[in-house]
Amino acid sequence: MPKKKPTRAAASPRAQRKEKPVSVPKAVTRKKPSASPADRLKIVDRQLVQLLKDRVRLTIEHLQSLNDRRDVWFDSKNEQLLWEELEQVNQGELTRDVLRGVFRELLCAARSKVKTVRVAYLGPPFSFTHLAALERFGKTADLIPVNSIASVFEEVNKGHAEFGIVPIENSTDGRIVDTLDMFTRLPLRICGEVQMSVHHNLLSRSPRSEITEIYSKPQALSQCRDWLARNMPQAKIYDVTSTSTAAALAQTKPGAAAIASRQAAVQYQLDIVAETIEDNAHNVTRFAIIGDHETSQTGSDRTALLLQVPHTPGSLSDALTAFKNNKINLTWIESFPLRGPESGYLFFLDFEGHMKEPRIKKALQLLEKKAVRMEILGSYPRSEPLA
């Protein structure tokens, strides 16, 4: 018969001395259970908070070392490097936009600590312009809603806000005339852009069968024109100053609906009667950040220009050779008639490159010689569309 293996208790000196067994806490004698997800979460959260604080502290140190304090909100080169770096390391559960959102808030929190910023936008809250402002300046910035695009320009021009944000162009509907028109009236620059995918929703407190009136900004209505014709042919359509104005109206008016963002549905306590009703699934709006800030070169920039050439045959095509000869890619050209008795057109141009680059300087000098009026609206870093 094999010899019985001594148990651990029997092998201990205490057992050999036949002492009274001491009561040992159960947790020690039992096999230690692995930490629950909730416990592990607590540990990760603590580490995360510490890391986030370190991240913000280091960002503040970096921003304080910039030569020009005005660059605090326009540290574009470093920001670009950060997005590229995140793209490389982010392989897993997080989408690009979620991770960017987290880092955007951290960056903006650090920037606000170094320099507070006031930004006027086309309101009320939860217009698409507000969403673009949140994307660019974060929740810590002082975002001021005003009720028209013209007022955004006025607020910045009077110095009530350092920056403003306005829609400038939509992939389905084209130019935003109010914005381009204000550039001809006030001496403000474009110092940045935000490109955002725009998804529209039909929002109301009434069921779909009881909706008789639909409100929104003309651009939003136009972006959903086919859907409206197919699905709501009986409803009367009304223009208002923004999608969020429409949402606020639909909140109080029985039978009224708004075309606006999902976020507006939450803010104005409306039901989403129909979602993603834009006719073009790739509906992108480009917003311009306006101010008097000069942005430094990043290597991936655009420049915007107002141009008037003599109202004579061939003048425009002649002027545009400045771009061709200097291998500059023109990305946008819009014309609008001159105000007042004079006949002719003013052109709004957008092209790749920064005004500090030699080839761009050369082209601008050439262009100036052929122009009746020329104003450089600014060079700014290009942005990619965000979902």
Residues labelled as active-site residues: 285, 287
Shortest approach of ligand PRE to residue 197 CB, angstroms?
10
CA distance 361 to 346: 21
Q: Taking CB under 6 A as the rule, does residue 122 contact ligand PRE?
A: yes
Q: Taking CB under 6 A as the rule, does residue 198 contact ligand PRE?
A: yes
Q: Taking CB under 6 A as the rule, does residue 194 contact ligand PRE?
A: no
Q: Taking CB under 6 A as the rule, does residue 120 contact ligand PRE?
A: no
Q: Considering only residues 109, 220, 307, 364, which one is a binding residue for ligand PRE as defined by CB under 6 A?
A: 220
Token reading at 363: 């082209």
Tell me the residue type at 303: T
Binding footprint of ligand PRE, residue count (CB under 6 A): 15
Q: Taking CB under 6 A as the rule, does residue 267 contact ligand PRE?
A: no
10 Å CB burial of residue 231 (0-12, 13-18, 19+) is middle
Q: Considering only residues 151, 170, 204, 206, which one is a binding residue for ligand PRE as defined by CB under 6 A?
A: 170
Q: Taking CB under 6 A as the rule, does residue 219 contact ligand PRE?
A: yes
CA distance 24 to 189: 75
Single out the segment in contact with ligand PRE by CB under 6 A; choices: 45-53, 68-76, 125-133, 304-312: 125-133
- Closer to ligand PRE by CB, 260 or 305: give it: 260
- Closer to ligand PRE by CB, 71 or 155: give it: 155
Strand order in the sheet with 373-381: 330-337, 345-352, 301-308, 373-381
Single out the segment in contact with ligand PRE by CB under 6 A; choices: 30-38, 241-249, 288-296, 369-377: 241-249
Shortest approach of ligand PRE to residue 362 CB, angstroms?
35
Convert residues 129-168 into a mask of x (bound to ligand PRE by CB under 6 A) and - (unbound): x-------------------------------------x-
Q: Taking CB under 6 A as the rule, does residue 217 contact ligand PRE?
A: yes
Q: Taking CB under 6 A as the rule, does residue 286 contact ligand PRE?
A: no
Task: Tell me which residue has tokens 């080839």.
Answer: 359
Q: Considering only residues 76, 206, 285, 383, which one is a binding residue for ligand PRE as defined by CB under 6 A?
A: 285
C-alpha pair distances (Å), 168 with each of 135, 179, 340, 342, 350: 16, 6, 24, 26, 12
Shortest approach of ligand PRE to residue 192 CB, angstroms?
16
What is the binding site for ligand PRE (CB under 6 A)?
122, 127-129, 167, 170, 176, 198, 217, 219-220, 242-244, 285
